[in-house]
Each structure stands twice: as C-alpha cells, then as structure tokens.
Structure 1
Amino acid sequence: MKFKFEGLMIWQRAMEMGEVVYDMVGRFPEKEKFNLSSQLMRSADSVALNIAEGSIDQSNLEFKRFMGYAIRSLAEVVTCLHKAFRRSYLTKERFEVAYQEAFELMNMMTAFKRKIK
C-alpha cells in the first residue's frame, strides 16, 4: 500500500460499505434513480472519500475535521437506509445487516477521531 489511508481499517470498511450500497440501490425502483438511490450512493462513497482526503498531507486538526465530514456522511447513509426500509425497498433482514455494519463503522470512526491529537 502506498497511501496512508489504504492501511486504515475504517477506510477499508467504508470502501466495502460503498460497494454494498451500490449493489443495494440497483434493486430500488427506477423512480428513485435520481432521488434516494443517488443520495444513498453519494453519501456512502463520501465516507471513504473524506477519510482519504483528510489523511493526506493534512494537519491533525484538518484530519479531525474531515473525519467529522465522514461521520456525518455515515449518518446520512443510515437515514437513507431508514427511508428505503420505510418505502419497502429493503427487506428487514437486509436493512438490519446494513444498519449493523454502519453502526460498527460509526463506532470505529468516532473512536479513531478521538485518538487524533
């Protein structure tokens, strides 16, 4: 690995979550293509993107700021998951799996952010 962020477990998990979300929204109705599907994909991708951007040649204060952006993006993902479940685009099982992954990632990210001095 040549980039610092590639070695971060939070980045690796965020990358995987982005791919799971991408697959998930492919099953949403066509009418959501430019609404919930797009928003969910963008927010999921934003988590890993902000972790990567913050880790490269930034001060620790800047890195913490970008981690804050990543955490807020993950909160957006969770809200979109709730919307999708309420609209019956996700089964209860699929929602719970995605929700648990997001919850674990959120805990990891907030702990990581606290450790940045």
Structure 2
Amino acid sequence: MASKYFQELRVYQLAEKLADEIWQIVNDWDIFAKNTIGTQIVRSADSIGANIAEGVGRGSFQDNKIFIRIARGSLNETQHWLRRAYTRKLLTVEQIDTLRLMINDLAPQLNSYLKSIGNNVEK
C-alpha cells in the first residue's frame, strides 16, 4: 500500500474543499432547511473525503478501491442533494457555479485515483 498520507492526496484535498464549501453554505440556512436537506448534503459531502481516508487506511489496494467507489457514490448523492437544494431555492446560481467547478475537478480525480489503484498489484 502507498506510504502517502491521505491528507497529501490531491483528491482528498478537493473532497475536503467541497465539503467545507457546502458546510459554509448550509450554515446560513434556516433551521428547517438545515435539519432536512442540510443534514443530508453535509453528510454526503463529508463522506467523500472520509471514504478516501478510510480506503487508504485499510492497507490493501483492493479495499482502497472499494472505498473509492463508495466515495464516488457519495459524490453522486451530494450532487442529488445540490439539485434538490437548488430546486427549493436554497442555493444561488453563483453558489451552484462554484460548487459545479469543484465537482467538475473532483469527479475525474476520483476516477483517476481509482484507476491508479487498479494498476497496482499486491504482493
């Protein structure tokens, strides 16, 4: 398994940045929005980075690949909640544009990271 700490991975740093941006946005919502869609979107966004970290810590390439796939699922879930939040007028066009740029950077990084893990062979 790679000796690199998960915090040094660009893909993890992008996931962290996205989760922190979403946290800042949701923090300004009213209590009903925070307790419903806000909780869901923060959890799904936080789950992306958490799964990257857990995969690195599992100690095998096979386990890491599983957790990166889960991270991709959490990214898709986050996109679902962003769509719901925008439709419900909780997000501005500017916020969506900012988040879209972050997601457009993170999604291919997750795929590249998964592919790079797949090229490693355990001994």
Question: Do the two structures share a fold, i.e. TM-score over 0.5?
Answer: yes
In structure 1, what is the equivalent of residue 68 of structure 2? Answer: 67
AA matched with 1:96: D
In structure 2, what is the equivalent of residue 8 of structure 1? Answer: 9
Unpaired segments ≥5 residues, structure 2? 119-123
Kindly state the Cα deviation for residue 89 of structure 1 after the two structures are TM-superposed.
0.7
Alignment of 1:101 with 2:102, yes or no, is yes
Kindly state the Cα deviation for residue 86 of structure 1 after the two structures are TM-superposed.
0.6
TM-score norm. by structure 2 comes to 0.88
- The ranges of structure 1 where at least 4 consecutive aligned residues each deviate by more than 3 angstroms after the TM superposition are none
Provide the rounded CA distance (Å) in 1 between the counterparts of 2:69 and 2:58: 17
How many residue pairs match? The answer is 116
> How far does the alpha carbon of each residue in 1:73-97 deviate from its partner, in whole angstroms, 9 at most, with x for none?
0111111111111111111121121
Unpaired segments ≥5 residues, structure 1? none
SS at 1:33's partner residue? helix
In structure 2, what is the equivalent of residue 113 of structure 1? Answer: 114
In structure 2, what is the equivalent of residue 54 of structure 1? Answer: 55
> How far does the alpha carbon of each residue in 1:8-60 deviate from its partner, in whole angstroms, 9 at most, with x for none?
00111111111111001012232122210000000111011000000014211
Provide the rounded CA distance (Å) in 2 between the counterparts of 1:31 and 1:22: 15
AA matched with 1:27: D
Report the identity percentage.
Answer: 28
AA matched with 1:115: S
AA matched with 2:41: L
Provide the rounded CA distance (Å) in 2 between the counterparts of 1:56 and 1:100: 28
Larger C-alpha radius of gyration, 1 or 2? Answer: 2
> How far does the alpha carbon of each residue in 1:62-111 deviate from its partner, in whole angstroms, 9 at most, with x for none?
10000001111011111111111111111112112102211210111111
Contact 1:27 / 1:89 at 8 angstroms: preserved in 2?
no
Contact 1:14 / 1:48 at 8 angstroms: preserved in 2?
yes
AA matched with 2:20: E
TM-score norm. by structure 1 comes to 0.92
In structure 1, what is the equivalent of residue 85 of structure 2? Answer: 84
Computed over aligned residues only, the root mean square deviation of the Cα atoms, in angstroms, reads 1.5
